[in-house]
Amino acid sequence: MSAQIIDGNVIAERMQAEIAAAVQKMKDEHGVTPGLAAVLVGDNPASRQYVGMKRRRCAKVGIDSFGYELPATTTQEELHKLILELNADPKVHGILVQLPLPDHIDEEAILGAIQLEKDVDGFHPVNIGRLAMKGREPLFIPATPYGCMVLLDEVGVQVSGANAVVLGRSNIVGLPAAMLLLHRNATVTICHSRTKDLPAVVRTADILIAAVGRPEMVKADWVKPGAVVIDVGSNRIEDPTAEKGYRWVGDVAFDEVKEVAGAITPSPGGVGPMTITMLLKNTLRAAEMAIAKAGK
Ligand code: NDP
């Protein structure tokens, strides 16, 4: 039987409409417009494209976005100074520093300089530390893993007690996804490039989150029948039959795995649209916290 297809575009559109309504209500009731500062250092075309997409989505839901495009030669001190200015700016409720930063910049120091209440990407060491601890809650959850959890909830899967396998241990996806699953009482296995007999480990999963960056690596015979599969992967592959000569695929061999899984996200059209949505949600939350703090 073919799996339920989890349509991230539909879920993201619905959530963005809810966010837009909440933003309008905030403007009407408090005279406050949520604001996101997006900081881009260097001229990585993919990063530029991501920042552009995020800013366009902000505009769509009524969030102000302020773009800061700095040259690749920007020094640590210059970037740090900008972060401090943004921390102090009351129009800015969230600060997004697009990663990766150029090699000469100390990423941890920059992320650590962002005021905790404005850390809408959830990458501040304190937010990540809280995510990693039992009984603690971060102020913000990183957008991509947050989106994965929303998708799991959309299909109504019981996370508590489930065997969850996370494929990948990056700081931005795999690790925080595993921590979130643990917070929800799943039994979590984290796989990476040194994991032995990957297919056998993946076959234990009731819930699989794949974030490895390897095109269509997860095959049908890796997947337990009925498992819920969330494919974070977004990989460009050559395809002479495609109009542009390439197409995008996930980390999961979608066509064959959908015949085995209980539910599955496509890629594109699954996690991707959720990532931006969760960033907008975090920015709205940052503005709500600022209003509550000011007693407005
Ligand atoms: P990273 O390259 O930072 O991490 C990849 C992880 O996968 C690492 O932990 C690595 O192991 C592991 N890995 C790599 N190859 C293998 C292998 N053959 N077997 C087992 N494990 C392996 O990637 P990201 O986490 O940043 O991204 C993962 C994917 O998700 C990419 O396709 C990316 O484009 C996509 N992505 C999508 C987003 C979205 O919004 N849809 C957002 C962010 C990412 P080790 O640690 O041992 O090196």
Q: How far out from the chain centre does Cα 78 lie? A: 27
What are the catalytic residues? 54, 98, 121
Does residue 268 have a cis peptide bond before it, meaning omega lies within 30 degrees of 0?
Answer: yes
Centre of ligand 1 to C-alpha 146, Å, is 16
Q: CATH class for domain 143-272? A: alpha beta
Q: What is the rounded CA–CA span in Å between residue 233 and residue 212?
A: 6
* Encoded tokens for 142: 């990183």
The domains of the chain are located at: 31-123, 143-272
Q: How far out from the chain centre does Cα 199 lie? A: 25
CATH 3.90.245.10 matches 31-123: no
Ligand 1 pocket member 127 (CB < 6 A): no
Q: Which amino acid, one-letter code, is at 231?
A: D
Size of the chain, expressed as the number of residues it contains? 296
Q: Is there a shared CATH topology between the 31-123 domain and the 143-272 domain?
A: yes
**Residues 196, 198, 204, 209: is their CA dihedral positive or negative?**
positive
Q: How do the pLDDT tens digits run along the chain, 296 residues long? A: 699 999 999 999 999 999 999 999 999 999 999 999 999 999 999 999 999 999 999 999 999 999 999 999 999 999 999 999 999 999 999 999 999 999 999 999 999 999 999 999 999 999 999 999 999 999 999 999 999 999 999 999 999 999 999 999 999 999 999 999 999 999 999 999 999 999 999 999 999 999 999 999 999 999 999 999 999 999 999 999 999 999 999 999 999 999 999 999 999 999 999 999 999 999 999 999 999 999 86
Q: Which atom of ligand 1 lies at the shortest distance from residue 169's CA? A: 9
8 Å CB contact between 199 and 189? no
Q: Which phi and psi angles does 188 have, rounded to 5°?
A: -110, 130
